Amino acid sequence: MLPKVSISKILNSKSKDKFNLISKSNFDWDEVFFYCSPQVVFYRSNYIEFAFECIRGNNIECEDLSLGVELDGKIIALFPLFFTENRNALGFLGDSVCPPIFIHSISKKIKKEVSVLLVDKLKSLFLRLNINKPIISDQLWPSNTLSIWHKTILDHSKKCEVIRESFLNLNYDYSKVRSNYRKSYKALISKANKLFKQSKLKGNNRKVWNEFRNLHFKSAGRKTRSDKSWELLFDEIKEGKSDFYFSRDNDGVMRGGSFVMKTNYEAFYAIAAYDRDFFHLPIGHCLQDFIIKDLLKTNIQWYRYGRLYKKTDFDTPNDKQIQIGQFKSGFSSDLIANYRFSGF
């Protein structure tokens, strides 16, 4: 395995033409992100820090190799990337490398050159690190066309597999959005609204947040993430960058909660927990309806629910993953293909 200094040297070395690759620690990531399009939640520095802590919190050695692409002294693209030593994997969301995002008004020509440069760097690392099953992903957001990144990878990979992500289009009024709900959900929402009261956490209320932490622990049956990762999420709420929504029963006991991360472009259904003793009741249905109504008051375009798992998927998801994906897809309006390339 290459030492860390060698990995950084391969990534951050000056390219043969006009681009420099700059380590995330050497520039203001969020300042560049502000000018990027689309503003996908996963590319925010807070999310990258949270994802990094979730890995490290499980006693997995991880190095943050995220970088910016510089042209003429200006960062024009962001490229999040982790190296997990225990698994000998290079990726970001799981063991999959994600595409770069670019600031506004970058030409197709420059995007193509940057994509070629980054794929060449990745191929060098795949080879030097002896990574067994390298994966590069595209696409992480709704689009009517295949991206330049996608077309670049096509020339280098031997295999392409497809997974699906559920999204809800928020560019309509509530009646139109509700028309996309699964038919059975409407009656379930009406039923649940009589049994539970939905709220949105306001201000710095650690007591409510700790209730959710305890509920999450109870639902999972174990501690699934580090204390620091929970603090990072609470910081998001305090800074007004994310929101926490929750349901209480008629006795005032929290029975469900959902943490939603946001940008100006999208909201992401990041974490949820529901009291297992109440799984027979549609707590999640009424809470999601409440969240959607709140999101419709903003200019956010999409509500990202995450992956829709199927038994026929190449990575054989378990029953729980399939059930969760099925629940979330009942609110979605769009199913987006996410391509995973391998065989480099």
Residue spans per domain, the chain: 4-156, 167-338
38 burial type by CB count under 10 A (0-12 exposed, 13-18 middle, 19+ buried): middle
223 vs 8 pLDDT, higher one:
223
Q: How far, rounded to the nearest angstrom, does the alpha carbon of residue 142 sit from its chain's CA centroid?
A: 14
Question: Rounded CA gap, 174 and 151, in Å?
Answer: 37
pLDDT at 10: 67
Question: Rounded CA gap, 99 and 101, in Å?
Answer: 7
- In the predicted structure, residue 328 carries a pLDDT above the cut 70: yes
Residue 70 Rama label (left phi>0; alpha psi -120 to 50; beta): beta
Q: Cβ distance 78 to 100 under 8 Å?
A: yes
Residue 300 three-state SS: coil
Cis peptide bond upstream of 288, omega within 30: no
Please calculate the CA angle 247-252-257 and round it to the nearest 5 degrees.
25
Task: Dig out the tokens for 220 from the structure.
Answer: 């999972």
Question: Rounded CA gap, 26 and 231, in Å?
Answer: 25
Is 167-338 the same fold as 4-156? Answer: yes
Question: Rounded CA gap, 132 and 113, in Å?
Answer: 27
pLDDT tens by residue, 263-316: 999 999 999 999 999 999 999 999 999 999 999 999 999 999 999 999 999 889
| 4-156 CATH | 3.40.630
pLDDT tens by residue, 177-217: 999 999 999 999 999 999 999 999 998 899 999 999 999 99
pLDDT at 6: 60
pLDDT at 4: 56
User: Counting every residue, how long is the chain?
Assistant: 344
CATH topology of domain 167-338: Aminopeptidase (3.40.630)
Res. 87 pLDDT band, cuts 50 70 90: confident
pTM of the predicted model as reported, rounded to 2 decimal places: 0.93
pLDDT at 8: 64
Res. 11 pLDDT band, cuts 50 70 90: confident
Question: Rounded CA gap, 329 and 184, in Å?
Answer: 13
pLDDT at 7: 67
Res. 14 pLDDT band, cuts 50 70 90: low
- In the predicted structure, residue 15 carries a pLDDT above the cut 80: no
Residue corresponding to tokens 């992100």? 33
Residue 194, strand partner residues: none
Give the other-Cβ count within 10 Å of 320's Cβ. Answer: 9
Q: Closest Cα partner for 142 from 260, 265, 35?
A: 265
pLDDT at 12: 64
- In the predicted structure, residue 152 carries a pLDDT above the cut 70: yes
Res. 132 pLDDT band, cuts 50 70 90: confident
Res. 52 pLDDT band, cuts 50 70 90: very high
Question: Rounded CA gap, 330 and 338, in Å?
Answer: 19
Q: Cβ distance 281 to 289 under 8 Å?
A: no
Q: Cβ distance 219 to 261 under 8 Å?
A: no
Residue 165, strand partner residues: 307, 336
pLDDT tens by residue, 217-242: 999 888 888 999 999 999 999 999 99
**DSSP assignments along 220-242, one per residue:** HTS--S-HHHHHHHHHHHHTTSE
